[in-house]
Amino acid sequence: MEGCGLRAVGSHCSLSEMDDLDLTRALDKPRLKIERKRSFDERSMSELSTGYSRHDGIHDSPRGRSVLDTPLSSARNSFEPHPMMAEAWEALRRSMVFFRGQPVGTLAAVDNTTDEVLNYDQVFVRDFVPSALAFLMNGEPDIVKHFLLKTLQLQGWEKRVDRFKLGEGVMPASFKVLHDPIRETDNIVADFGESAIGRVAPVDSGFWWIILLRAYTKSTGDLTLSETPECQKGMKLILSLCLAEGFDTFPTLLCADGCSMIDRRMGVYGYPIEIQALFFMALRSALSMLKPDGDGRECIERIVKRLHALSFHMRNYFWLDHQNLNDIYRFKTEEYSHTAVNKFNVMPDSIPEWVFDFMPLRGGYFVGNVGPAHMDFRWFALGNCVSILSSLATPDQSMAIMDLLEHRWAELVGEMPLKICYPCLEGHEWRIVTGCDPKNTRWSYHNGGSWPVLLWQLTAACIKTGRPQIARRAVDLIESRLHRDCWPEYYDGKLGRYVGKQARKYQTWSIAGYLVAKMLLEDPSHIGMISLEEDKLMKPVIKRSASWPQL
Ligand code: GLC
C-alpha cells in the first residue's frame, strides 16, 4: 500500500518501530474548507442508479411534532451553560492521551479513587466516539483526525489469538500508549480481543470507526481524509469482513456474545440489534465516502444490495409492536415451505410474560435478537437509538420507538438515563444465560444497569424525531446527580438509583456523553454528523401498522 506505509507487523511489535512520517504527511495535507456541516455528500440509492453522481448534502432537519403527553422539563427553554459543563470539559481534557506530542484519544476512565485499573487506562474505540463528537462540536477536530489515523495504522497489525489469525480488517477494542520516560519514547500496545475477557473481537469497533470518519468529514468539510487511499482501504477491509458470502441465510451479521458495548456474556450472541444497527449505519456511512473507482465500485454495489436486504429483514422481523406481538402470540409452528408465516419457527410459548404488560397499544421497538426458533424480546437502548439515527427505522417506527420510551419512562429511564437493556435476567435465567456472572447480577452493569453515556444517543434520537423535550427531561436527571456522584460508569437498581457496585468514577464517556447531549440541544444542527436521513428507495414492506397514526 502506498501513502501511509502500513506494514503488517506482529501485534507484539510496537508502533514506534513503524514509520510515522507518512502519518504526518497525511495530517499536513491542505484542508479543503467547504461549508461546515452541509458540505458533505450523501450518496443515495437513487444516485447510484444514475451513475454515482454527487450532489450537495442532505438536510438533517428535525421532524416537527408536538406531543401532549411528552414530559415537561424545567430547563425547557434555557440554554444557560450549566456549571457542570465547565467541570465536564476539564475532566474530558484530563483524560486526553498523547502519542509523540499529538492527542490521539481519551482514556476510558481517570479514576484516582481505585487501584484496580484493569484496562480502563486505555483508549477504547467505542468509548472515544462521544469524546470525538464533543471535540468536533467544539471545533477541535485534530484529536479526531489523529485518532482515526492511529487506529487505521493499528488495523494493519497482524492479529492472533493463540495460533489463529484474525481477519485483516479487524479494528482494535482498545489501545494504550506506553511512555518510556528514560528513553523518551512512546509505544503503542493494542487489544483486538486477544487479551479481552472471553477473547472476543470487537465487531463494533470497525463500524464506529467508519461512522466517526463520516462525522469528522461532515463536521469539518474536510474530504481529504476520507478520500486518502489509506482510509478507503480501511473501510473496504472492515466491510469485506461483513460482506463476505458464506453459509448465511440472513442479511444480518452473526456474532459471538461480548463483541460490542456489552462485552461479556449476556445472551446476545446470534444477531444482536446493537450490531445490526451499527452495521447498517456503517454501510450507509461508507456508501457516502467510498470512491467508485477500482474495487470501490464493486464494494459499493455489494453495500447497496446488502442495505436493501438488511433493511427489509430488520424492519419486518425485528420490529415488535402490539399488533405484531399479537400475531406472534397466535403463530402456528412447524410450517414448512415458502408460504410459512412464522419463518423462524418461533414458539409462542417462548414469549416472556413481562412483554405482554410492557407493550403499550401505541409504540414499538426493535427486539434484541431474531434467529432460528429464537426471539429475544428484551429492549436494548443503543440498538434502538442507532436505528433511529441511521434511519434503519422508518419514520413511523422511529416515532413508535419514542412513544414507547415515553410510555415506559419509569422502566427505561427511571431516575438515571438510560437502561442499557430491559428487563434484567434473574435467578435461573441469569445463571444459564450469563454463566453466573457476578458483575452482571440483576439490574446491574450490562444486565439492566443504567448507563449515563447513552444520554447522547437518546438526545440525538430525540432531536431527530423532533422531541427534544424528552431529552431535556433526561438531561435534568443527569444534572441532578452525575457530577455529585463523580461521573460514574453506570448505576444499579430498577430505577437506576444507586451508583453501580463496580462502576468506575470519572468515566470518560459518561462525561463526554453529557457534553454531546448538551451541545446537541443547544445547536440541533450538530445532528447531521451522526444522523442519516431516510433513503427513499429503501421503502419498507410492512404489512401491519408500525405505530398508531400520528396526531
Ligand atoms: C466495559 C464496557 C465496555 C467499555 C469498557 C471501557 O468493559 O462493557 O463497553 O468499552 O468498559 O469503558
Output the 3-class SS for 95-136: CEEEECCEEEEECCECCCCCCCCCCCCCEEHHHHHHHHHHHH
- Ligand 1 atom closest to 446 (CA): 8
Q: Is 178 helix (H, G, I), strand (E, B) or coil?
A: strand
According to DSSP, the residues that pair with 379 across neighbouring strands are: 367, 422
Q: How confident is the model at residue 550 (pLDDT cuts 50, 70, 90)?
A: very low
Strand-pair category, 491-492 with 498-499: antiparallel
Q: Could you tell me the CA-to-CA distances from 55 to 15, 38, 526 in Å, in that order?
A: 39, 11, 20
C-alpha of residue 493 to centroid of ligand 1, in Å: 19
Residue whose CA lies nearest to ligand 1 atom number 12: 108
- Ligand 1 atom closest to 445 (CA): 8
Cis previous bond, 418, omega within 30: yes
d(CA 100, CA 14): 13
According to DSSP, the residues that pair with 180 across neighbouring strands are: 185
C-alpha of residue 443 to centroid of ligand 1, in Å: 17
Mean pLDDT, rounded, of the chain: 86
Probe residue for ligand 1, chosen from 106, 124, 454 as the CB with the greatest number of ligand atoms within 8 Å:
124
Is residue 208 scored above 60 in pLDDT?
yes
C-alpha of residue 125 to centroid of ligand 1, in Å: 10
Quick one: average pLDDT of 265-274? 97
- Burial readout 74-92 (b: 16 or more C-beta within 10 A, e: otherwise): eeeeeeeebebbeebeebb
Residue whose CA lies nearest to ligand 1 atom number 2: 261
> What integer pLDDT is reported at residue 79 of this predicted model?
56
> What integer pLDDT is reported at residue 539 of this predicted model?
57
> Amino acid identity, residue 286?
A
Is the CB of residue 107 less than 8 Å from the CB of residue 125? no
Probe residue for ligand 1, chosen from 263, 274, 445, 510 as the CB with the greatest number of ligand atoms within 8 Å:
263
Is the CB of residue 79 less than 8 Å from the CB of residue 522? yes
Share of the chain above pLDDT 90, in %: 76
> What integer pLDDT is reported at residue 31 of this predicted model?
36
- Ligand 1 atom closest to 120 (CA): 6
Q: Which residue has the cell 482514556?
A: 107
C-alpha of residue 28 to centroid of ligand 1, in Å: 33
Residue whose CA lies nearest to ligand 1 atom number 3: 261
- Ligand 1 atom closest to 124 (CA): 10
User: Is the backbone of residue 363 left (phi > 0), alpha (psi -120 to 50) or beta?
Assistant: left
**pTM, two decimal places:** 0.85
Is residue 3 scored above 70 in pLDDT?
no
- Torsion angle, CA of 280/152/22/158, rounded to 10 degrees? -130
- Ligand 1 atom closest to 263 (CA): 8
- Ligand 1 atom closest to 260 (CA): 9
> What integer pLDDT is reported at residue 538 of this predicted model?
63
Residue whose CA lies nearest to ligand 1 atom number 6: 108
C-alpha of residue 309 to centroid of ligand 1, in Å: 31
Residue whose CA lies nearest to ligand 1 atom number 4: 261
DSSP 36-80: TTT-S----HHHHHTTS---PPP--PPPP---TTPPP-TTTT--P
Instruction: Give pLDDT tens digits for 51-63.
Output: 322 222 323 333 3
Name the DSSP class of 31: P
d(CA 450, CA 489): 9
Q: Could you tell me the CA-to-CA distances from 329 to 186, 196, 206, 272, 490 in Å, in that order?
A: 59, 40, 37, 22, 35
- Ligand 1 atom closest to 109 (CA): 12
- Ligand 1 atom closest to 262 (CA): 8
User: Is the backbone of residue 429 left (phi > 0), alpha (psi -120 to 50) or beta?
Assistant: alpha
Is residue 12 scored above 80 in pLDDT?
no
Residue whose CA lies nearest to ligand 1 atom number 11: 120
DSSP 272-336: -HHHHHHHHHHHHHHHTT---STHHHHHHHHHHHHHHHHHHHIIIIIEEEHHHHHHHHT------
Could you give the angle at the alpha carbon of 412 between the alpha carbons of 418 and 542, nearest 5°? 110
Residue whose CA lies nearest to ligand 1 atom number 7: 263
- Torsion angle, CA of 530/534/540/546, rounded to 10 degrees? 70
Quick one: average pLDDT of 235-249? 94
C-alpha 194, offset from chain centre:
22
Instruction: Give pLDDT tens digits for 412-456.
Output: 999 999 999 999 999 999 999 999 999 999 999 999 999 999 999
> What integer pLDDT is reported at residue 184 of this predicted model?
92
Quick one: average pLDDT of 525-532? 98
Q: Which residue has the cell 451508583?
A: 499
Grid coordinates representing 164 are 489463529
Residue whose CA lies nearest to ligand 1 atom number 9: 261
Please list every protein residue whose CB sits less than 6 Å from any atom of ligand 1: 108, 124, 126-127, 261, 263
